[in-house]
Amino acid sequence: MKQKDGQRIWRRGGLALLAMALVLAMLPYKQAAAAAVQKLPIGYNDELTNIKAEQSGDALYVPLREIAQKLHLEVGGTADKIVVSGSKHSVVILPAKQSAVSGKKTSSLKTYASEGRTMVPVSLFKGVFNFGIAYDASVPVIRITSGKQKLSLQSFVEQNRAALSANANGGKTGQKPQAPSKPQSPKPASSKPIYLTFDDGPTAHTNELLDILDQYGAHGTFFMLGPGISAYPKSVKRLVDSGNSAGLHGMTHVKSKFYASPASALKEMTQDNDALYKATGTRTSLIRTPYGSKPYFTQKYRDKVLAAGFHLWDWNVDSEDWKYKSDHQKVIDSILKQVDQQEKEGIVPVVLMHDQKATLKVLPQVLKTLKAEGYTFEVIQQNSKPVNFWHDKR
Ligand SMILES: [Zn+2]
């Protein structure tokens, strides 16, 4: 019950924030920009673009030519007298004078060059061309609208939340980057990547688990439940800060609730991601559904959830550590045997384990043996090619 109440309050807080952001978006950009990060993804109508806004001083700036093209505006003139025109309105930008002329009105307009592009305040497109501009601080994202958008700002954010978080983090969750890949040269014989994954955490044992990983210089990917994240935020922060990867496992872990509908599955992952954001300041696009994605996570579920930008991960080595909680040697032998099998078939092993007390007993020997066999313990990245039972590569 406690959990539910907390969540409702938090959701209400989120709505208030959204409403506030909408108000701010109508004001001069001073206030809105103050809450922004340095690089912001930009949405145009219902599309999430690859164009990024930058915060400079107290305003948000966008690359003029890229945005103009997206907004179907023409850019002409010269470098010191840039003419931007739409079907009804136009503006002449004078970078040397830091001013702009629209109709008979001249106003000051700060511009600057960034990576060879002319950056202009995004407010220009509202002031001169009447585009709508909104800002959502929770992701964050800036959204420009022409009036042809179908989604509300909130729906737009929800639909793109995972992709937006990937953008905001530059495609990383803050984990240690994988060894630079050199596709041209053959892999050295010693390069045998393996993904260790831990489900159902975080728990009271997560710190010990991280201690063991640290001890062997290893990292793992943790598919975590929202309530656990809220209960052990420090463990989650440590996990992410020390180069492990965070993934989502939903909120309830109850089959009838999670798989009730595609919308319920998406909602659980989104709420889980919100909890992760609260604990670490980052979101992720990596998900593993409760009990694995087969048989319940059928096409219509995947269409809904993966369209929001999530990447689905199952496993190809099942430790069954949840089943044999006292027979540690059986679990160890089983993992090593299955890993060996995958390796022989040229498949990168993705090992399913659980964040639980029993795993603390098997992990040291597993790490020691695999390390001696030349494996490198890599973490699943947001841009890693997903491994799942459906072979869904989205
Ligand atoms: Zn689970």
User: Which residues are part of the catalytic machinery?
Assistant: 199, 354
pLDDT digits (tens, 9 = 90+) for 166-180: 766 544 444 433 444
Q: How far is the CA of 253 from the centre of ligand 1 (A)?
A: 6
Q: How far is the CA of 201 from the centre of ligand 1 (A)?
A: 9
Which domain covers residue 273, as residue numbers? 192-378
- Asked if the structure places residue 163 within a domain, the reply is no
Same domain, 204 and 334: yes
Q: How far is the CA of 97 from the centre of ligand 1 (A)?
A: 61
- Asked if the structure places residue 286 within a domain, the reply is yes
Same domain, 10 and 139: yes
Same domain, 125 and 197: no
- Asked if the structure places residue 69 within a domain, the reply is yes
- Residue 115 is predicted with a pLDDT of 65
- Asked if the structure places residue 385 within a domain, the reply is no
- Asked if the structure places residue 387 within a domain, the reply is no
Same domain, 146 and 273: no
Distance CA 75, CA 62 (A): 14
- Residue 242 is predicted with a pLDDT of 95
Distance CA 74, CA 86 (A): 6
pLDDT digits (tens, 9 = 90+) for 236-273: 999 999 999 999 999 999 999 999 999 999 999 999 99
The confidence band for 181, taking pLDDT boundaries of 50, 70 and 90, is very low
Q: How far is the CA of 3 from the centre of ligand 1 (A)?
A: 19
The CATH number of whichever domain residue 93 belongs to comes to: 3.30.457.10
The phi and psi torsions of 67 (rounded to 5 degrees) equal: -70, -45
The CATH number of whichever domain residue 371 belongs to comes to: 3.20.20.370
Bigger pLDDT: 56 or 306? 306
pLDDT digits (tens, 9 = 90+) for 303-360: 999 999 999 999 999 999 999 989 999 999 999 999 999 999 999 999 999 999 999 9
- Asked if the structure places residue 340 within a domain, the reply is yes
- Residue 25 is predicted with a pLDDT of 47
Same domain, 348 and 200: yes
Examine the pLDDT at 34 and tell me if it is beyond 60.
Answer: no
For Cα atoms 221, 392, 310, give the angle at the middle one, nearest 5 degrees. 50
Same domain, 228 and 341: yes
- Residue 132 is predicted with a pLDDT of 86
Distance CA 111, CA 64 (A): 10
Q: How far is the CA of 303 from the centre of ligand 1 (A)?
A: 22
Examine the pLDDT at 21 and tell me if it is beyond 70.
Answer: no
β-strands 311-312, 286-287: how paired?
A: parallel
Same domain, 9 and 113: yes
Q: How far is the CA of 288 from the centre of ligand 1 (A)?
A: 8
- Asked if the structure places residue 119 within a domain, the reply is yes
pTM: 0.56
Q: How far is the CA of 221 from the centre of ligand 1 (A)?
A: 13
Mean pLDDT along residues 129-143:
83
The confidence band for 161, taking pLDDT boundaries of 50, 70 and 90, is confident
Provide the 3-class DSSP secondary structure of residue 175: coil
Q: How far is the CA of 178 from the centre of ligand 1 (A)?
A: 26
The phi and psi torsions of 255 (rounded to 5 degrees) equal: -50, -50
The phi and psi torsions of 241 (rounded to 5 degrees) equal: -65, -25
Q: How far is CA 204 from the centre of its chain?
A: 26
Same domain, 199 and 138: no
The confidence band for 77, taking pLDDT boundaries of 50, 70 and 90, is confident
- Asked if the structure places residue 181 within a domain, the reply is no
Distance CA 58, CA 30 (A): 5
Integer CA distances (angstroms), 185 to 172, 194, 224, 346, in order: 25, 20, 36, 17
Ranking 32-36, 138-142, 335-339 by mean pLDDT, the lowest is: 32-36
Tally of domains in the chain: 2
Bigger pLDDT: 103 or 56? 103
Same domain, 149 and 221: no
Same domain, 36 and 131: yes
Non-local (6+) Cβ contacts of 222 within 8 A are: 197, 198, 199, 201, 202, 206, 239, 244, 245, 246, 247, 355
